[in-house]
Amino acid sequence: MKVLVTGGAGYIGSTLIQHLLKIYPTWQIMATDIKPMPISPVSSQFEFQILDISDRNSVVDLIQDWKPNSIVHLASILNPPPGMSEEKQWKIDVQGTKNVLDGAAYARTEQVIITSSGAAYGYHKENKEWIEETDPIRGHSAFVYSKHKREVEELLTEYRSIFPQLKQLILRPGTILGKTVNNLITDMFQKPFVMGILGHKSPFVFIWDEDVIQIITKGIAEKKEGKFNLAGDGALSLQEISKMIRKPYISIPAFLLQTLLLVLKNLRLTQYGPDQIDFLRYRPVLSNTQLKTVFGYIPKYNSKETFIMYLNAKGVPFDEI
C-alpha cells in the first residue's frame, strides 16, 4: 500500500502520518507540503517532499512518478496568513484539488480522500435543523473558505462523471477539536464573553481529532467511497457553551450587529462585514447518521464530550450542563 498525504505538515496531516506508520508499518507513506514538517517521522517507509499544490506540473509529475494507491488530500487554506489574496487561496484550494485529481487519474490511483467541510453547505436561512449529505452544497459568498469548498465539491462531481474508476471519499467535518487545536472558532471561546445573535441558538457540532484520524485510516484501509459528515452526536448552542465556560452570554439583534460591522469595516477596524453574521445566525448542523450506518464508524465522543475534553486539555474550568 502506498499512501500520499498532501498538507502533511499540518496538524491533522502529521498526526495521521504518525498513526498510519504505527498501525501499518509496512505501508509506504509520502507526505508533501509547502513547508517542512515540524517533526519528521523516522521510518524507512516514510518520505517527505516540499510541494506547492498549486503548481500543476509538479503535482501531476510527482503523483505519476510515485503512483500511490490512495491519496489523502488535506492541503487547503483555513486561516489565511495576513496579506494572502483570495486569488492565491483559490489556487491552493480549488486549483490545487484539480491538480491532485488530474495526477490521480493519470496515475490510475484507486482512491482519493478529500477533506471538504460542513462549511460547504453554507450559512443559509433555509438550512435544515440537521443537515444530511444529500442536502445541497451552496457555500457562502461572504466566506472564502466556504465558497471554495463549494467549488471543490462541484469539481469532484465533474470528476466522478469523467473518471468513475477513481473512488472518491469526501469528508465534511464539523468543528474539529483536539488537545492542541487553535482556530477561529476556539478563539471565540477565549474572549471575556460569548456573543450570539438574538433569536438564534447558533448550535455547534464538534468532533475530536482522534476520531477524524480513525475515520481517514478506516477509509484508506477499506477503500471507502461516498460523502460523509463528520460530527459527534448532538450539538451545543452558544448559550450552553457560555454556561459551561462560565462566561456571560450577550445576544445582539441581527440588524444592530450588521450596522456595527458595516461601520467598523468602513473604518477598517474589522475584516468582517455585515453578511458574515450568517456564520452565527445560520449554522450548518451536521447529521452523522450516514457516518454511523453506511461508513460504519461511531465517533468515540459526542459533541458535548468533545468540548469537555478540549476544555480539560486547555485547563479551562467549566460547569456541566
Model confidence pLDDT, tens digit, residues 1-47: 999 999 999 999 999 999 999 999 999 999 999 999 988 888 999 99
**Amino acid 44: pLDDT:** 94
Determine the pLDDT at residue 23. 97
H or E element in which residue 115 lies: strand 111-115
Query: Mean pLDDT, the chain, as a whole number?
Result: 94
Cα–Cα nearest to 105, from 58, 154, 71: 71
CATH code, 2-183+206-234+285-311: 3.40.50.720
Tens digits of per-residue pLDDT, 74-117? 999 988 888 899 999 999 999 999 999 999 999 999 999 999 99
Q: What is the distance between the alpha carbons of residues 94 and 78, in angstroms, rounded to a whole number?
A: 13
- Would you state the pLDDT for residue 266? 86
How far from chain centre, in Å, is Cα 213? 12
C-alpha cell at 211: 476520531
Say what the pLDDT of residue 299 is.
98
The pLDDT of residue 201 is 94
Per the structure block, which three cell numbers stand in for 223? Answer: 477503500
Phi, psi dihedrals of residue 72, rounded to the nearest 5°? -105, 105
Q: Which of 6, 14, 7 is nearest to 178 (CA)?
A: 14
pLDDT of residue 98: 98
What is the Cα–Cα distance from 304 to 43, expressed in whole angstroms?
A: 37
Q: pLDDT at position 148, please? A: 97
Look at residue 287 in the predicted model and tell me its pLDDT. 98
- The domain spans of the chain are 2-183+206-234+285-311
Helices 209-221 & 11-23 angle (0-180, nearest 10): 50
Integer Cα distance of 173 and 195 in angstroms: 23
With cell 459568498, the residue in question is: 141
Q: End-to-end CA distance of the chain: give it in Å, rounded.
A: 46
Is 236 exposed, middle or buried, given 0-12, 13-18 or 19+ CB atoms closer than 10 A?
buried
Q: The dihedral of CA 313, 315, 316, 317: what is its sign?
A: positive
In this prediction, residue 182 carries a pLDDT of 78
CB 160 within 8 A of CB 177: no
The CA distance from 120 to 139, in Å, is 5
Give me the pLDDT at residue 82, please. 85
Element (H, E) at 102: helix 96-106
Cell of 228: 460523509
pTM of the model: 0.94
- Residues in the chain, pLDDT under 70: none
Q: If DSSP codes are grouped into helix, strand and coil, which group holds residue 109? A: coil
